[in-house]
Chains A and B, each alone.
Chain A
């Protein structure tokens, strides 16, 4: 089991922005003893795409009314 824990460890150099240093620092403290710890760290360093928010707002504001006539009814 100890050998498994060792493999879960990640060595990350503490250089870079304050944000990433804090994140990596907390990851070191957790030492990825459990898969959850690793996944929590993985999630914390995953950034949501900037375009996503804009895309959603655009879709929501441009969505036609649900009771609009279907395309096939307009044809026939």
Chain B
């Protein structure tokens, strides 16, 4: 990636330090803007914080290796979401083939505990996280993904449609049923 970028720009050969600096600056911008969303999507799709961290790592590495080709061609958030969805879907397929199951009870929700809050608040937030995960895991995969994407207010129905390979109208229709299914399942999980 480094050599490709240097030759594309017709710039004089940069030192490794300069390349690292350039890459770091670009990385910082994209990472600061999108890391929370990408990690959260991976966390809820996989149901495990450690696996989500690995997945988010792979997504950003993959994204940066293809960054030159991406520039200006699409919305960055949508592009990163696409990589995340594909990556998590592939992981789930692999686990399914090997009969590996991640239970919400076993999932680690320690990422909440890092907030400067009381133990009681931590416990409540942890419980909320577990209930949310269990509810999402009980939904059809399509509903789960739609709800997670629509939870990102920056995404339009058209963008969600592009990500899930359907029309915006289909997204609206399915979202109604997904909301209903989530509400019922969440109420039952109390």
Q: Which residues of A contact B (CB under 8 A)?
A: 3-5, 7-8, 10-13, 15-17, 19-20, 24, 34-36, 38-40, 42-43, 45-49, 51-53, 55-57, 59-61, 63, 65-66
Contacts and interface: CB of A to CB of B under 8 A. Distances in A.
Contact of B112 (A39, A46, A57): A46
Interface of B: 1, 3, 20, 23-24, 27, 31, 35-37, 39-40, 43-44, 49, 53, 56-57, 60-61, 64-65, 111-112, 114-118, 120-121, 124-125, 128-129, 132, 147-148, 150-153, 178-179, 182-184, 186-187, 190
Nearest to B38: A48
Nearest to A3: B187
> Do most interface residues of chain B lie in helix, strand or loop, or is the interface mixed?
helix
Contacts, number: 129
Contact of B121 (A20, A53, A57, A65): A20
Contacts of B179: 34-36
